[in-house]
Structure 1
């Protein structure tokens, strides 16, 4: 047994097949998009069952810094009351990509400067494409040329117009411009010109949420999006469950040969996490979706796979953990951009899986994983919530896995360890 840091979490090992219902909180991606749209709207909006996590609280705090009221209502709902955007404050981005890339386009509409900063690692996350795009649209960016910290010198309006960017490092560069575009004088037309655009479902999510608010978006041309200038309508929406945060729970059914049911799984969604259904089917699970939700049942084996996860790259850590436990080799492709996420996830996964005895090789855009007998050990997480979840999956089958800094899951799922324990106890929560 490795020596433990007091902050480590001994990932529980399954003693038999799991059989549980797991109720997930709202989607982080949708919650943050709805918050931004509500801040840009003409009238107050209500978000029902939003995710309450570090990333969404940082987004709410960022909007409050700009003069927007975000009030708590009964049942954990949020009431967002828009107003003229003000400058003079500092936005704490934490490690939230949504905040550092969605809020600067709004700050250009503020009257006065708005400073942006965040956690230490946030200062090395890619920002140049969206900052350069804002400059091209008429926004003055001071202090930081291509990364945090920087200051947006808002003058109360943004010219807007056409802009070409390379969004191959993050689809959030496109989404951030589209979300604010309706409030720009000329709207905005965004053309992606670069390598493969990752996480396209997240841009589709942005487009659909804008349309929900009455914004006119033309996405008929490949890699080109046009947002017409105009009013943004108020919202009254129930936030879908976070499907990406389901990945580790559904994976538990496959690892233990058990059954997991997630109620409220949408029949149609723009969430990239919905890809987990097909992934688990390929890897050997019995997957069933009906009006009550999604049910995944393990069959006693885990198949290796060769898969492009470019559209749902946030699933990579949990899928990689499953691959390390599989019966045969796997290849994960199309995720080069996750080197710029909370950590370099490709390097981190290779290092930590190899540390437990697997045989993992980094490729230019992913991982080659050849399963080997695994042993316990310390699983470093690099302040990355998805790494914690991958470690938990491994721990189900490998005694003695110590997961570093489990508290980092507060970024997207603060109740994760409790939900995990409840799942193993078989108690719906």
Structure 2
């Protein structure tokens, strides 16, 4: 905590991956040309863009990718088509329902990491909706769909592992012959469903919630519109956390009150930890107080993509921190609970875990090499700890390109003390 307080710094946070990929799908299904302003340009969004182009959309880039103009196909796709999802979970979960509403044969596949992620609840829901499909064991990729359109109707999808299954079904629902009434059983990460519904309505869908967790989408069509993409709240969490542990002040313009991104609520957790937080109508600012308070239990079930950010800085707090309701984080790019616990223990930090929780006991750290498991969020979270814990290196610093290729450069710009957390033998092309 040896940093002096400095004047406010402006963090340059790229656009939201969640908003960018949802907008790409809805613009593809729409009639007309939609403009997506300030899209995120990263591994996941480029993979999604390529996928919708393979399904018939045309995407034209503005200067420096300031915007993407998407010429939609005016409904459902027509096969045959192959779709490569790479590592993008949103592509693997959003595109199968959309393809199933179309006509022809579609083959969807992805990387070994994406193939290993659970997909059975979505596969079961597609069968209930009338899809003709075959998949790898457990309903995962590769997935083949012999599409003849979907009738829709009433179904329930197990949403205890991911809200993306439900989002994918909702976005495809207007293209089903009877629309859809769908219930997300044991729904996690609810704010992402609100984001999905909000964007669907922007594109002209008639969708609403009826009762607790039951959603009704009428059959219809999507109409092209313009969408401005906010800075990514999950990515902003690392810079807000860095402010909290360095006594600096970081502002993210465009991330403001009323944001559809649930992960902006991470700043409420930082406020409990002693940071000063201002969520305004034009920007959000976090200022570190000089002391990171612990001694609290945080339910991060709805904002689980940011639990690693808190866990990584918790060793610097003045009392233990427990994070719970995050069982579904075990099913992301890695088993994130286990990965965080193992890395903290390698740093000499006492850590306890349960099926859906992790407790971190503050204490001094020792130098260690962080195992990223190819997971961008592990790399970024432990990079923040590296601001105040010397000797941290990453085994895969380049994995941040999944959502923020310029992460290390921006950290270095805002925090001059930041050292790229790689060893001499690990200097990737990005690091050089």
TM-score range, shorter-chain basis? over 0.9
Is 1:334 paired with 2:325? yes
Give 1:57's match in structure 2, choosing from 35, 46, 53.
Answer: 46
State the match for 1:222 in structure 2: 212
Q: Which runs of 4+ in 1 moved over 3 A?
A: 13-19
State the match for 1:322 in structure 2: 313
State the match for 2:288 in structure 1: 298
State the match for 1:105 in structure 2: 97
CA distance in 2, matches of 1:253, 1:180: 40
State the match for 1:7 in structure 2: none
Is 1:189 paired with 2:178? no
Structure 1 residue matching 2:323: 3-state secondary structure: strand
Q: 1:283-319, CA deviations, whole angstroms, 9 ceiling, x for partnerless residues?
A: 0001123344122111111111211001110001111
State the match for 1:308 in structure 2: 299
Is 1:365 paired with 2:366? no
State the match for 1:79 in structure 2: 69
State the match for 2:145 in structure 1: 152
Contact 2:58 2:71 in 1 (8 A): yes
CA distance in 1, matches of 2:83, 2:77: 13
Structure 2 residue matching 1:182: 3-state secondary structure: helix
Give 1:124's match in structure 2, choosing from 116, 123, 129.
Answer: 116
CA distance in 2, matches of 1:17, 1:256: 8
Residue 337 and residue 153 in structure 1: after superposition, are their counterparts in 2 closer, same or farther (change >3 A)?
A: same
State the match for 1:240 in structure 2: 230
Q: CA deviation at 1:404?
A: 1.8
Q: CA deviation at 1:249?
A: 0.5
TM-score, normalised on structure 2? 0.92
Contact 1:14 1:396 in 2 (8 A): no
Q: CA deviation at 1:85?
A: 1.6
Q: 1:156-184, CA deviations, whole angstroms, 9 ceiling, x for partnerless residues?
A: x2111111121100000100000010011
CA distance in 2, matches of 1:254, 1:25: 21
Q: CA deviation at 1:75?
A: 4.6
Q: CA deviation at 1:372?
A: 1.9
Q: CA deviation at 1:97?
A: 1.2
Aligned length: 412
Q: 1:374-417, CA deviations, whole angstroms, 9 ceiling, x for partnerless residues?
A: 11110111010100111111101111100121111111111111
**How much is the aligned-residue C-alpha RMSD, in angstroms?**
1.7
Give 2:107's match in structure 1, choosing from 100, 115, 121.
Answer: 115
Whose relative contact order is higher, 1 or 2, with alpha carbons under 8 Å and at least 6 apart? 1
Structure 1: give runs of 5+ residues left out of the alignment: 1-12
CA distance in 1, matches of 2:3, 2:121: 49
Is 1:21 paired with 2:10? yes
State the match for 2:426 in structure 1: none
Contact 1:98 1:172 in 2 (8 A): yes
Pairs within 5 Å for 1:203-218: 203-218=193-208
CA distance in 2, matches of 1:198, 1:337: 8
Give 1:374's match in structure 2, choosing from 365, 368, 371.
Answer: 365
CA distance in 2, matches of 1:164, 1:288: 39
CA distance in 1, matches of 2:31, 2:248: 49
Is 1:396 paired with 2:375? no
Structure 2 residue matching 1:307: 3-state secondary structure: strand
Contact 2:376 2:401 in 1 (8 A): yes
Q: CA deviation at 1:202?
A: 0.2
Contact 1:50 1:239 in 2 (8 A): yes
Q: CA deviation at 1:17?
A: 4.9
Is 1:34 paired with 2:23? yes
Q: 1:227-254, CA deviations, whole angstroms, 9 ceiling, x for partnerless residues?
A: 1101112121111111111011011111
CA distance in 2, matches of 1:265, 1:390: 20
Q: CA deviation at 1:110?
A: 3.1
Give 1:180's match in structure 2, choosing from 169, 172, 176.
Answer: 172
Give 1:345's match in structure 2, choosing from 336, 349, 355.
Answer: 336
Contact 2:312 2:382 in 1 (8 A): yes
State the match for 2:131 in structure 1: 139
Q: CA deviation at 1:88?
A: 2.5
Structure 2 residue matching 1:391: 3-state secondary structure: helix
TM-score, normalised on structure 1? 0.93
Structure 2: give runs of 5+ residues left out of the alignment: 418-432
| Further displaced range: 249-258 or 83-92 | 83-92
